[in-house]
Amino acid sequence: MNKIEENLHKKGYELVCGVDEAGRGPLCGPVVAAAVILKQGTYIEGVNDSKKLTEKKREKLYDDIMKMAIAVGIGISDVQVIEEVNILNATKLAMKTAILNLKIKPEYILIDGNQMIDIDIPGETVISGDAKSETIAAASIIAKVTRDRMLIEYDKEYPEYGFAKHKGYGTKVHIEAIGKYGLTPIHRPSFCKKFVK
């Protein structure tokens, strides 16, 4: 899994940063990005694509990554930003913010997916990066747990929607709740058009 980082370290890049996001597809809530720099040679048992892990496992790994990482940065684009600039640009913005929020500037960035962001740091995109790169996988866990915790908080405010369970994704329960109660301020109107009469 660490092949990409190993090759970069051999080229002289010491501070390699993985970047990933959570929440591009849901009907509500922000898109959250994380940037993680791990010390050269760090291996965190169990780190993998966040979607392949149970919630309990992600929570434990979140703590491990926070303890072991050289630096972690978070970037959040809220619903207003998503609606204003579209989800792709909002995601790129969250990723850039996450990198800029690192306490140490990375020398090289690895971004999950195929969309590079506009930043003055060398880097590359990695398709399915959370399965190929330890730092991207770590970033995917931080982003997912951060966003999930936000949705659990929203659930207290809007208990009838079931956010704590489905985390804002378009499940049957969620779509039915939209039909019954309408949209909340955290819903993305452009994502919910076909569910609102």
Length of the chain: 197
How far, CA to CA in Å, does 3 sit from each of 41, 63, 117, 122? 11, 24, 23, 18
Residue 48 pLDDT > 80: no
Reported as a single tens digit per residue, the pLDDT across 6-44 is: 999 999 999 999 999 999 999 999 999 999 999 988 888
Confidence band of 53 (pLDDT split at 50, 70, 90): confident
Identity at 143, one-letter amino acid code: A
Identity at 22, one-letter amino acid code: A
pLDDT of residue 49: 64
Query: Where exactly are the structural domains of the chain?
Result: 3-195
Reported as a single tens digit per residue, the pLDDT across 142-197 is: 999 999 999 999 999 999 999 999 999 999 999 999 999 999 999 999 999 887 76
Q: For residues 127 and 194, what is the distance between their CA atoms, to the nearest angstrom?
A: 30
Token code pair at residue 59: 């929570």
The mean pLDDT value of the chain amounts to 94
What mean pLDDT comes out for the span 97-117? 97
Neighbours of 9 (CB within 10 A): 16
pLDDT of residue 50: 66
Confidence band of 1 (pLDDT split at 50, 70, 90): low
Token code pair at residue 143: 């982003």
Q: Give the predicted TM-score (pTM) of the model.
A: 0.95
How far, CA to CA in Å, does 184 sit from each of 3, 155, 167, 169? 44, 11, 14, 14
Is 111 in contact with 94 (CB distance < 8 Å)? no
Token code pair at residue 113: 């997916």
What mean pLDDT comes out for the span 108-129? 96
Strand ranges, E, within 78-192: 108-112, 123-126
Exposed (0-12), middle (13-18) or buried (19+): which is 154, by Cβ within 10 Å?
A: buried
Region of 99 (left: φ > 0; alpha: ψ -120 to 50; beta: rest) is: alpha
The architecture of the domain spanning 3-195 is: 2-Layer Sandwich (3.30)
Q: For residues 94 and 84, what is the distance between their CA atoms, to the nearest angstrom?
A: 14
Residue 64 pLDDT > 90: yes
